[in-house]
Structure 1
Amino acid sequence: MESQRNILIIALLLVSFLIWQQWTTKDAQPETAQQSSQTTQVQASQGDGDFIPQGDLANGEGEVPTDTSATTAKQNLITVVSDTLKLTIDTQGGDVVRAELLEHDDSLDSDDKFVLLANNANFVNVAQSGLIGRDGPDSNIAGRPIYHSKQQQYVLADGQDSLTVPMTFTNDKGVVFTKNFTLTRDSHVVNVSYAINNQSGEPVQAQLYGQLKQSVNSPDGKSGNMLMASAYRGPAYSSDETRYTKYDFKKVQEANLNQSTEAGWVAMLQHYFVSAWIAPKQEQNQLYSSALNNRGQAAIGFKAPLVTVAPGTEQTLSADLWLGPKLQKKMAAAADNLDLTVDYGWLWFIAQPLFKLLHFLQSFAVNWGLAIILTTFVVRGVMYPLTKAQYTSMAKMRMLQPKLKELKERYGSDRQKMSQGMMELYKKEKVNPLGGCLPILVQMPIFISLYWVLMESVELRHAPFILWIEDLSVRDPYFVLPVLMGASMFLIQKMSPTTVTDPMQQKVMQFMPIIFTFFFLWFPAGLTLYWLVSNVVTITQQWYIFRQLEKKGLHGNKNKAES
């Protein structure tokens, strides 16, 4: 077996796998609103009554108005600013119609902050909440309630740990509903609570809901380039039955989510960032979704249990809203399993330790690029016994080439006897023909895992390395790293003489470094840096191991075997 050829073939299959992932992601894009309108009509006629056809929210014990678009002819907006968030809240309904993340720039070297939620003409992404049920103000057929706020702007002052923004609405029976938004310093969790003060003579029934509504089509119409898998954008949820499930826009259009769970959360995910409603804990909540095909939008939300507030009493209902980056520790503290929105795919059990190692090394190195280099050293160091076994196997296989040639001449076209003779020879010489492939087979899952670590870890967004590499999460702007990576692959080929005699195979092998250089032009600079450093370590280890084998006489017949 020619180990170097197999290594390159396996690596090529890896890159092809990543391209295939991207292709299937694009293939799974949802239908447009016009294409799926017929499907919606069928669902409406066959539904079980739990959802309003083409409405925004589910019917519970009380109906929710079908129009919760968070826009009015004369919007009255208030602004709330903390150290991490800048929120814009519409007083009609009290929905968050814009959220800026003050610790994250929109783009590299930009003065604008990243906008997580927005309510624009071409793209809608808002966080809505309210009270439905018989006496819920959001069940009023005349429209959603208009809350009163004493100020137009609220700012978390220096030395202040939290900021509460009260908004009040009084219905025609004299029941006062106070909607409070509470922001805490150094936190991306917004607590949204309703204080129901029932000074009427009758019981008040209300039910808390929260939902995230988003346009199905991306605002720029892009979903990643041809050679790179794009991060998931769309709904997700967590429940008793499943810790984390992506419920993409296509699924929303095909079937409405309707699941009861204790606690749980619903979310809208995108690259590096997430907005999520965290349902009340220790309560039985209902998770739902709804396709608003007449607007090209989809919603996912929760409904808390119906409560009854007796006359002359007050009761508070609340839920948390996460608006921020995918910070695993903080999300895990905010809600169970919310950190799983950092989606490392099916190799998460490798990616998680890699991220922890990368994060640990960065705490010393400070620079994320140096942390990637150190991670490469650690990974290749751990794999050194396998690498040594690989090159020892390669050396022994080269030594056996003359004997294998003799077997071929002896048995000719008799494949059965040829195979038996080869197996006896391998057993006698204690050679494992697959030994040269094992290290690369181990390295491929590590490569895929690190790919998703670099793709999903917001910590690497806009993280610089040195000189021209200002962002490790995107491609090298001048393609220096891919070219160096290709050169290192070429050098590895030169150091590992091939036994391939077929001219066509030889040409394919010679072009492998060029093919890989082309693929890596679009890969994140951090991933290309890892592969480049890994190749440099491979060259060093290969040189050292071959020298040791030569001293033992295992590598001395290399030239003879090749001739």
Structure 2
Amino acid sequence: MESQRTFLLIGLMLVSFLLFQEWNNDYNAPKADPSATTQTLGATTPESDDFIPASSDGEVPAATTAKRSVIDVTTDVFTVKIDTRGGDIIEADLLQYEETKGSDTPYMLLGVFDGKQYFSQSGLIGLNGPDATVEGRPVYKTTQKAFTLNGDELRVPLEFTDSKGVTFTKTYIFKKGDYAVGLEYTVNNVTADPIQVQLYTQVKRTVQDKGSLVDQNYLGAAYGTEEEPYEKYSFSDMADKNLNITTAGGYIAFIQHYFVSAWVPQQDQQNTLYSKLVAGNAAIIGTKGEAVNVQAGTQATLSSTYYMGPKESDVLEAIHPDLDLTVDYGWLWFISQPLFVLLKWLHSILGNWGLAIIAITVIVKTAMYPLTKAQYTSMAKMRALQPKMAALKEKYGDDRQKFGQAMMEMYRKEKVNPMGGCFPLLLQMPIFLALFYVFLESTELRHAEFILWLNDLSAMDPYYVLPVLFGLSMFITQKLQPMTVTDPMQQKMMTFMPVVFSIFFLWFPSGLVLYWLVSNLISIAQMLIIYRGMEKKGIKVRG
């Protein structure tokens, strides 16, 4: 049993290492450097080889040479740049999120990052869509070059009139405190003939290879359909096969640590979800709506919603019932989601994310106390049987079959389950991992302050105080536990494990280390209570 427990701890260490590596890939990934983003138009706008979904006649537009410019939009949560060529969003800074802790630079979600592009694109294709003509994507006109949100809503209209006199008005709708941006296309057909258009929306991003070891803190595309509420579609998936699915409603997204951008088309129509890799090592995932016929002398409006912001479950769910799944808690989402709800509730009461972590640890450890008691009780009983176990070994020598039978008979008479110390630990591991995912994925913990020097729970402890305290708590736990390991190698492994974990946790997010430290301290207190009760009953716990 002790051997199995040792291997469980080693397995836990391995899982922790893999999860940490995933966090490290995201948290320490190269951030956007605004100084590296040139302000010249050519450097901040999509290149002429932008992929446009094929129109119904199969043609793809060529590049236009018309003069273009950039429109600046400022709200309480964004600064946004819109390219008049195509009306694409080519840059978005999140004003309420710092690029790095303590900096005055807002977090750049969309834009150009050291040559890497991340844009939001949309347009009208179909038989008569302006983005489907051989002249190239339309260059829109605006009444002003800068827009600022002063009230609750800001409308940014872009207008284009084609050679036949049809007017296309592309309007972005920004709302106060909202990361969801509305998109409306109004088509005014003043001609004597009907026309047909089709709305497409897509996100374009330079391919980035993370070299992921586990499927958490995912960087890549995702989509949802009527049948599949959430499916990842990685860069490698796109390289293998283009996505091409027709569904009622649906959505597409690009996901990264803490943030997401997503197009949610009209949910009352059939939409085609697609992907493509294009020249320049860029990946695109997008949606195409149904073809819309606009009769002569009439108008029609097509719409969609684009979200670009933090992974906030409630907000995302309000935009689309399944969009909150982009807050990726992995395969333990059904445990992580209620734990996160509890964590947010505790924060609303305590007003500090560090205190909320401590509180949820206390609650979880208290709820799991029956399992903990069963685990330590079983371990103590196993230790009490060690003298009888040694006598059986001496009696039966190398006859392993008779020794095994005698040992099982002894367990039966003493009413001891040799796996009793392992099962509770196995049952606790999903809770442990689910909380890990919550701390790792929750945007609310990004740059969250605790106390004193711990001013960012998503970053490592700068003075390594928490990892050292954790190592000490683990050492104390080992000393209190009734140990039955006799193999010298296992003894050495168990002895050095607190040191290994302490070193390993030096680079862990301090919020996670805080959780494990508090968990260990509670375990020590519970252990002392359990052992004291057992010793009163005459059960020898420690040698």
> Does TM-score exceed 0.5, indicating one fold?
yes
Give 2:326's aligned residue: 341
- Report the secondary structure of 1:116's partner residue: strand
- Do residues 206 (structure 1) and 197 (structure 2) align? yes
Give 2:369's aligned residue: 384
- Report the secondary structure of 1:179's partner residue: strand
Within the candidate set 119, 125, 133, 1:126 is matched to 119
Deviation at 1:247, TM superposition (A): 0.3
Higher relative contact order (CA 8 A, sep 6+): 1
The residue type equivalent to 2:450 in the other structure is F
Quick one: distance in 1 between partners of 2:92 and 2:249? 25
Within the candidate set 56, 67, 87, 1:94 is matched to 87
- Report the secondary structure of 2:201's partner residue: strand
Give 1:108's aligned residue: 101
Give 1:57's aligned residue: 52
Quick one: distance in 2 between partners of 1:66 and 1:515? 59
Deviation at 1:61, TM superposition (A): 1.3
Give 2:511's aligned residue: 526
Structure 1: stretches of 5+ with no match in the other structure = 28-53
- Report the secondary structure of 1:405's partner residue: helix
Distance of aligned partners of 1:185 and 1:63 in 2 relative to their CA distance in 1, 3 Å threshold: farther
Structure 1 moving runs of 4+ over 6 Å: 21-27
Deviation by residue 1:142-166 (Cα, 9 ceiling, x = unmatched): 2211111001111111xx2211111
Percent identical: 49
For these two proteins, the number of residue pairs brought into alignment is 520
Deviation by residue 1:377-424 (Cα, 9 ceiling, x = unmatched): 111101111111122212211221111111111111111111111111
Distance of aligned partners of 1:223 and 1:482 in 2 relative to their CA distance in 1, 3 Å threshold: farther
Distance of aligned partners of 1:22 and 1:340 in 2 relative to their CA distance in 1, 3 Å threshold: same
Give 2:239's aligned residue: 253
The residue type equivalent to 1:76 in the other structure is S
Distance of aligned partners of 1:404 and 1:276 in 2 relative to their CA distance in 1, 3 Å threshold: same
Distance of aligned partners of 1:393 and 1:336 in 2 relative to their CA distance in 1, 3 Å threshold: same
Give 1:428's aligned residue: 413
Distance of aligned partners of 1:376 and 1:20 in 2 relative to their CA distance in 1, 3 Å threshold: closer
- Do residues 137 (structure 1) and 130 (structure 2) align? yes
Verify the 8 A CA contact 1:133 1:206 in the aligned structure 2. yes
Alignment map for 1:311-350 (pairs within 5 Å): 311-350=296-335
Deviation at 1:241, TM superposition (A): 2.3
CA RMSD between the two structures: 2.3
- Do residues 514 (structure 1) and 499 (structure 2) align? yes
Deviation at 1:264, TM superposition (A): 0.6
State TM-score, norm by structure 2. Answer: 0.91
Within the candidate set 390, 411, 435, 1:450 is matched to 435
Verify the 8 A CA contact 1:22 1:229 in the aligned structure 2. no
- Between 112-121 and 471-480, the greater mean CA deviation after superposition: 112-121
Verify the 8 A CA contact 1:62 1:132 in the aligned structure 2. no
Verify the 8 A CA contact 1:22 1:230 in the aligned structure 2. no
Distance of aligned partners of 1:132 and 1:63 in 2 relative to their CA distance in 1, 3 Å threshold: farther
Deviation at 1:278, TM superposition (A): 0.5
Distance of aligned partners of 1:131 and 1:121 in 2 relative to their CA distance in 1, 3 Å threshold: farther
Distance of aligned partners of 1:316 and 1:105 in 2 relative to their CA distance in 1, 3 Å threshold: same
State TM-score, norm by structure 1. Answer: 0.88
Deviation at 1:439, TM superposition (A): 2.6
Verify the 8 A CA contact 1:223 1:230 in the aligned structure 2. no
Give 2:163's aligned residue: 172
Alignment map for 1:276-315 (pairs within 5 Å): 276-292=262-278, 294-315=279-300
- Report the secondary structure of 2:245's partner residue: strand
Quick one: distance in 2 between partners of 1:310 and 1:542? 78
Verify the 8 A CA contact 1:11 1:444 in the aligned structure 2. no
- Report the secondary structure of 2:290's partner residue: strand
Verify the 8 A CA contact 1:383 1:439 in the aligned structure 2. no
Deviation at 1:522, TM superposition (A): 2.1
Deviation at 1:498, TM superposition (A): 2.1
Verify the 8 A CA contact 1:58 1:64 in the aligned structure 2. no
- Report the secondary structure of 1:540's partner residue: helix
Quick one: distance in 2 between partners of 1:78 and 1:504? 67
